Amino acid sequence: MINAVTPSGGSGSAEDLVRAKAVLLDQHGGRRRLAPDALRTALVDLHDFWLSSRATAIGISDRAALVAVGALGRRELCPYSDLDLVLLHDGRKDVDRLAEELWYPLWDAGVGLDHSVRTPGQAVQVAATDLRAAYGLLELRHIAGDPALSEKVAQAVRQAWRAGMRSRFDEIADSARDRWAKVGDVAHRIEPDLKSGHGGLRDVQLLDHLAVAQLVDRPSGEVAEARLLLLDVRTELHRIAGRARDVLRAQEADEIAGVLELGDRFDLARAVSGAARAVAFAAEVALRQARSALPRRGLSALRRAPVRRPLDSGVVEHAGEVTLARDAAASRDPALVLRVAAVAARTGLPIAAGTLARLAETAPELREPWPRAALGELLSLLGTGEGMVDVVEALDRTGLWGRLFPEWGAVRDLPPRDRAHVWTVDRHLIEACARAAALTTRVSRPDLLLVGALLHDIGKGRGGDHSVVGESLAVQVGRRLGFGPHDVDTLGAMVRHHLLLPHTATRRDPEDPATVARIAETLDGNPLLLDLLDALAEADSLATGPGVWTPWKRALIRDLATRVRARMIGEPPPGPVQLADSAAKAAEELVAVVGADGGVQLRLLAEDDLATVVSAVPDRPGVLSAAAGVLALHSLEVHAAEVHTETAPSGSVVAVFSFAVSPRFGGLPDPALLRADLVRVLDGGLELPEALARKERDYAPTSEVAERTAPPRVLWFDDEATGAVVLELRGRNRIGLLHRVAAALEGEAIDIRWARVETLGASVVDSFGVAGSGTDGHVLKGDRRRIEQAVLGAASERRIPAR
């Protein structure tokens, strides 16, 4: 490879360097693939050789040195990492010429370059004032020229770093935390930033920098293994993307997993999550230890050592951390681990690393059933809400959480299977529990709500229906925690049925008495279980990701729960909500007008963040798809649609539509414009498919991303109680999807009685109550395959390319 750069033994051109790198990457991608660490080594050697040869050729020798910082300095050069170089000199007059002859060939060849020219004094000064520059110079590595000059600068920067640590530590800590807040966690994100995220490679470098300051020890072997994995994934990500990339996306993950022999993208995600959690935990502990280890000067050196302040039985605060009292022992106090955790969550103070290590070494497994005090401390921990998240993470990293809940191993670092979830399964459970803590006053058994939220997805990662598997695990955990038989059964039922309310409310007719009766029967007429599931549905949705718990979904679930509760206690079902009354009155008025003049009528009724569009149109084929398309054209997202026909006083048949909508962005459109466009569509003056295609090109994601999503799927449900047939479409959200699917169903002579749309991030679950040509409107089995193909075709229809 070196001969490819310098065939004649000289320095070669920068173009030779680029070509040699391309050959190396091409070989790496072929049959004789290098391992990622071997590829990084080859890239470092390639650039080191070219740079040292070039430096020698242009006269960088006495009183000058070329050093590498950043990725090249750390010997962690990925395929498309920039070169970070510093030209050091000790008063050379021709330094400008040296810089030009070194930098310009690299620029001209298109090599990414971050460069500077410094004297030793300037290097120390910039490291003292610029944190990013200091980090780079701490990683300085000699390439060519005067090695004594490089060593002089390296020693001076390290000495200044240690000497100035007390005055700049706050900047270091704040910078790291600001980055974490901005970029997010590597461990729990669907598309993590491997470099800058919390638990990413920059945090590994932070550990190294704190170790150089002699405030903490060098990273542990676990962190070293995590660093290697993150580097290997980033190396392959660069190669596959063909450019510098730090965010790992699903479309590259399968190939990377194959190269690293880690199974599929889900296995890779789990490995990356585990590595990132090790790094993140080490970084947080290191920042706390480093602050405690800062040298004290002046008056601060005369102050007394921090006082140990009692917080609870066996628990004290010392130097801003939760620690054990001197006489506390986990072997004698079964609830000690959970009491320490609960105190930390309540106070917001971190648990000292030494305390965690001591508890991990000495705390025994709790006997079954748990002592009442241990259960009480667990509930105290879970009830702190957001305060519990970091505490449980600390317990989990040290093995204590798994000792309390052995079932946790199957969900630890488990990636979700759909893009609506932004967290790994274990973090989602913790987030759901934290959300449930804010809802405990809505239920009569807050303890069951908290534990149910913690366990609702515990059955994932084991195969089979996670709700069914989770039920048996929840029963097992409930008995171990010490709940009574009735409470254990309730916990199991919560896990078994935690999706019952959201799925029914968004995919069935909540006002149908048969739907209400079926839920009441499924829950054995238990109002307590119903209330718990109602609150759990909200906590689960809030913990899933942004946009999952919408005002519309909240209204649907609350309405359904209210109707089921009324049936359970023998009260009459509640009447329709006020907005539905308004819509019914508006529809009655519009039908009379349509019957009189035969024109299209439309009214928009707004209430808070939801609105209802009511339209009455002379009945004819295609009116539902036309109305849905016009709403999409005006950026209205449809959450539900009710469809029926009425006979006007004049005797004409009128189709009446009621759409529950909200604007995708901005405010509600002018209803006069909606009506005008609907008239144009029905009269043939507006080609709706072309107009929607243009809008989709302007506002929807690129087709490249769309084509990598899961294919759409159609499911059929027959309601034996009512004879109704429900067609459910699961697929990617698209502008005008309801219009396309309605048009497909209308083309198959299917009568749509109602429709509901649930948006889950980039995906949707659209449900349609339909009637076909069979007895009592049944959709014949023989027709379903044909209808299904038509709906799938509409859902997966490719966009019209831009002209």
Q: Are 40 and 231 in contact (CB under 8 A)?
A: yes
Side-by-side strand order, sheet with 64-69: 113-118, 83-89, 64-69, 141-145
SS3 174: helix
Q: Are 113 and 71 in contact (CB under 8 A)?
A: no
Q: Which position has the higher pLDDT, 766 or 138? A: 138
Query: In DSSP terms, which residues pair with 751 in a beta bridge?
Result: 771
Q: Which position has the higher pLDDT, 545 or 435? A: 435
Give residue 22's pLDDT.
85
What does the pLDDT average to over 413-422? 80
pLDDT tens digits for range 305-350: 567 889 998 999 998 899 999 999 998 999 999 999 999 999 999 9
Give residue 705's pLDDT.
36
**DSSP result, 363-427:** PPPPPSSPPHHHHHHHHHHHTTTTHHHHHHHHHHHTTHHHHH-GGGGGTTTPPPSSTT--S-HHH
pTM summary value: 0.73
Which of 520, 463, 480, 464 has its CA nearest to residue 497?
A: 520
Of 217-221, 245-249, 408-412, 578-582, which gets the smallest average pLDDT? 578-582
Which of 87, 62, 75 has its CA nearest to residue 153?
A: 87
> Which CATH number applies to 167-288: 2.40.50.180, 1.20.120.330, 3.40.50.10140, 2.60.120.10?
1.20.120.330
Does residue 410 register a pLDDT over 90? yes
Amino acid identity of 722?
A: T
Which of 542, 462, 452 has its CA nearest to residue 497?
A: 452
| Cα 742 from chain centre | 32
Domains of the chain: which residue ranges? 2-163, 167-288, 329-568, 578-796
**In this structure, what token pair is assigned to residue 550?**
């919408």
Give residue 419's pLDDT.
67
Give residue 587's pLDDT.
82
Identify the burial level of 607 via C-beta atoms within 10 angstroms of its C-beta, where 0-12 means exposed, 13-18 middle and 19 or more buried. exposed
DSSP code for 198: B
Provide the 10 A C-beta neighbour count for residue 620. Answer: 10
DSSP code for 12: -
Amino acid identity of 485?
A: P
CATH of domain 329-568: 1.10.3090
- % of the chain residues with pLDDT over 70: 90
Give residue 667's pLDDT.
78
Vertex 740: Cα angle to 739 and 746 (nearest 5): 85
Of 41-55, 150-164, 584-598, which gets the smallest average pLDDT? 584-598
Amino acid identity of 787?
A: I
Provide the 10 A C-beta neighbour count for residue 415. Answer: 22
CA distances (Å), origin 66, targets 42, 89, 102, 614: 20, 9, 10, 73
What does the pLDDT average to over 195-221? 94
What does the pLDDT average to over 12-25? 85
Mean pLDDT score of the chain: 86
Does residue 10 register a pLDDT over 50? no
Give residue 232's pLDDT.
96
CATH superfamily of 2-163: Beta Polymerase, domain 2 (3.30.460.10)
The whole-angstrom separation of Cα 108 and Cα 391 is: 52
Give residue 703's pLDDT.
38
Strands 113-118 and 83-89, bridge-based pairing: parallel
Which residue is it, tokens 């509760």?
A: 565
Q: What are phi and psi of 303, to 5 degrees?
A: -70, 150
